[in-house]
């Protein structure tokens, strides 16, 4: 495989976070980029403005003239554009096939994990930028400080979010690997938890002997993965809040009256100083520790990293405050795994202790809903009210007996309701939510429209105007990889 600026590269599924980021990198490097997706979204609109040719809908003719085709993990082998490419002898690749070549010549910092990889990779990128190191980056969400999900810099570091779905991260060749946590997910791809752990183990094995592994020792699986490399005498840095195995530790974690989190950073018994975050939750304290270790390995002083984290605004759809009207805050979050849901709601309860919490959940894929059902049933304990919409199918066909209605029937919660359509959920919120309240919309699909509709309706009947939500212009509403 040989990349030469000026080549015509066509991306099938260009509207997803993964391929849109790669497309942006190619554009900035001087390639001719085209792509297709079923529907337009903010990501494709932005790419068109930057020079890409984007086709709405799929057609065999879309690949004409391309010298290489790259397909999303969600695209079937017999997809009409891939079939035409093969008939024309145009090479067809997945993301995993091209990532190492894209990042060649850089210090690769790859961030993996079931939860937190988008925010952690965004934190690392932001710190390196604030330190003047001008990294390249590919992130699975919009970095709100730059309003972009990818960029090409002239610095030595290339930060990438390492996606485990379809084993994409096996195509990386990292010098620094972060693993935030490992929990069973993607049951449509990983048959068992053991298979998923083996996939993460293979990702770690891609590090060279002098490569640095950064793992969270608060998580049992990543702690074991770190210990396995450590006993081999290879470089490992472990971080955490509670674990005695952590060499980097957050102490005195606290939340102030404004809901802002601060903590002390201790490394091998030495206090480095305090970190203050604009984004809530213990999980973001852990993410910040990982980012501190990764950037410290690149020579960033603690003081510079601390100042950068104090200005870090987060990533799009990761605890993204979309607006506030009449004493009701609307937050958009990507949580769709039961652990992420539980932690997001716990962070909300901590940040808004006097507000009623309305959790709105759009289940993502039938297979995940079925496989993790028992955990979903207990994930909403921190919410006062729960609305559950129909399942967002993404790449899947329905599974008999698996439905949002059945989840509602099985859930033991004081107020859980089945609101099948997104407008049904928005209508319920408009009628029933009373201030002070927080609405947390959790979805990897198209549910953010619920918050948009709620804010529009309440703005029309409330004196207090809606605040402008950060990151609303640069997002996509579906992520095939989940």
Catalytic option among 81, 119, 130, 161 = 161
* Three-state secondary structure call for residue 68: strand
Place of tokens 């309701």: 417
Please report the pLDDT score of residue 191 as a whole number: 97
| Per-residue model confidence (pLDDT) at position 350 | 93
Q: Is 346 a catalytic residue?
A: no
Strand pairing category for 157-161 and 176-179: unpaired
Q: Tens digits of per-residue pLDDT, 304-331?
A: 999 999 999 999 999 999 999 999 999 9
Q: Are 205 and 227 in contact (CB under 8 A)?
A: no
Q: Does residue 234 sit in helix, strand or coil?
A: coil
- Say if CB 97 and CB 170 are below 8 A apart: no
Q: How far apart are CA 21 and CA 46, in angstroms?
A: 11
- In 405-444, which ranges are E strands? 416-418, 437-442
**Which residues of the chain, if any, have pLDDT below 50?**
462-482
User: 45: cis peptide before it, omega within 30°?
Assistant: no
Q: Which two tokens stand for residue 218?
A: 């608060």
Sign of the C-alpha dihedral, residues 331, 334, 338, 340? Answer: negative
Active site residue 56: no
Beta-carbon neighbour count of residue 434 at 10 Å?
9
pLDDT score for 219:
97
- Going from the C-alpha of 15 to that of each of 47, 72, 281, 439, the distances in angstroms are 9, 10, 30, 27
| Distance, CA of 275 to CA of 298 (rounded, Å) | 19
For 379, 414, 443, the CA distances from 383, given in Å and listed in that order, are 9, 10, 16
Please give the backbone phi and psi of residue 467, each rounded to the nearest 5 degrees, phi first.
Answer: -75, 150
Please name each of the domains of the chain with its CATH number.
8-95 (3.40.50.720), 103-310 (3.40.1190.10), 320-459 (3.90.190.20)
Locate 90 and state its tokens. 């145009």
CA distances from 291 to 214, 284, 298 (A): 9, 10, 11
Q: Catalytic residue at 409? A: no
Q: How far apart are CA 459 and CA 479, in angstroms?
A: 30
Q: Which two tokens stand for residue 167?
A: 């084993």
User: To which residue do tokens 């390639």 refer?
Assistant: 31
The tokens for 349 are 């309860």
Task: Out of 114, 118, 125, 180, pick the active-site residue.
Answer: 118
d(CA 136, CA 146): 12
Model pTM score: 0.93
DSSP state letter for 392: B
Query: Rounded to the nearest 5 degrees, what angle is found at the Cα of 406, between the Cα atoms of 400 and 412?
Result: 150
Instruction: State residue 2's pLDDT score.
Output: 83
- 49 phi, psi to nearest 5 deg: -65, -25
Determine the straight-line distance between the first and last CA of the chain, rounded to whole angstroms.
28
> In whole angstroms, what is the distance from residue 126 CA to residue 120 CA?
10
State the catalytic residue, choosing from 114, 117, 419, 428.
Answer: 117
- What's the rounded Cα separation, in Å, for the pair 334 and 246? 28
What is residue 273's three-state secondary structure? strand
pLDDT for the residue 461: 62
Characterize the bridge pairing of strands 437-442 and 328-333.
Answer: parallel
């Amino acid at each position: 495989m040989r990349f030469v600026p000026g080549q015509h590269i066509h991306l099938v599924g260009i509207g997803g976070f993964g391929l849109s980021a790669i497309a942006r990198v190619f554009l900035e490097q001087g390639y001719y980029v085209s792509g297709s997706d079923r529907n337009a979204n903010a990501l494709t609109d932005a790419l068109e403005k930057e020079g890409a040719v984007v086709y709405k809908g799929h057609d065999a003719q879309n690949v004409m003239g391309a010298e290489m085709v790259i397909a999303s993990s969600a695209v079937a082998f017999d997809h009409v554009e891939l079939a035409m490419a093969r008939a024309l002898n145009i090479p067809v690749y997945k993301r995993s096939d091209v990532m190492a070549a894209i990042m060649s010549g850089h210090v690769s910092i790859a961030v993996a994990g079931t939860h937190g990889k988008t925010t952690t990779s965004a934190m690392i990128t932001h710190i390196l930028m604030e330190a003047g190191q001008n990294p390249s980056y590919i992130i699975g969400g919009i970095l709100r400080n730059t309003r972009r999900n990818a960029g090409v810099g002239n610095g030595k570091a290339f930060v990438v979010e390492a996606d485990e779905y379809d084993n994409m991260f096996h195509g990386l060749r990292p010098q620094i690997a972060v693993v935030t946590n490992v929990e069973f997910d993607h049951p449509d791809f990983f048959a068992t938890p053991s298979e998923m752990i083996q996939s993460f183990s293979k990702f770690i094995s891609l590090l060279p002997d002098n490569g640095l592994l950064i793992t969270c020792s608060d998580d049992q699986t990543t702690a074991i993965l770190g210990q396995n490399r450590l006993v081999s005498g290879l470089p490992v840095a472990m971080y955490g809040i509670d674990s005695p195995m952590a060499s980097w530790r957050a102490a005195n974690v606290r939340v102030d009256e404004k809901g802002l989190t601060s903590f002390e950073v201790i490394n091998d018994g030495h206090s480095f100083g305090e970190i203050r975050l604009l984004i809530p939750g213990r999980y973001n304290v852990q993410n910040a520790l990982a980012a501190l270790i990764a950037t410290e390995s690149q020579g960033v002083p603690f003081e510079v990293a601390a100042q950068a984290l104090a200005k870090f605004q987060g990533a799009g759809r990761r605890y993204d405050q979309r607006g506030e009207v009449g004493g009701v805050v609307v937050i958009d979050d990507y949580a769709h795994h039961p652990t992420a849901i539980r932690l997001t709601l716990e962070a909300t309860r901590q940040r808004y202790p006097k507000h009623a919490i309305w959790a709105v959940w759009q289940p993502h894929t039938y297979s995940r809903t079925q496989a993790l059902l028992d955990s979903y049933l207990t994930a909403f304990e921190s919410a006062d009210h729960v609305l559950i919409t129909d399942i967002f199918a993404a790449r899947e066909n329905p599974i008999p007996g698996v439905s949002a209605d059945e989840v509602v029937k099985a859930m033991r919660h004081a107020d859980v309701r089945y609101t099948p359509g997104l407008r049904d959920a928005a209508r319920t919120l408009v009628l029933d939510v009373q201030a002070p309240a927080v609405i947390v919309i959790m979805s990897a699909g198209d549910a953010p429209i619920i918050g948009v509709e709620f804010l529009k309706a309440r703005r029309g009947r409330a004196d207090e105007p809606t605040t402008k939500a950060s990151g609303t212009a640069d997002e996509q509403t579906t992520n095939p990889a989940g």
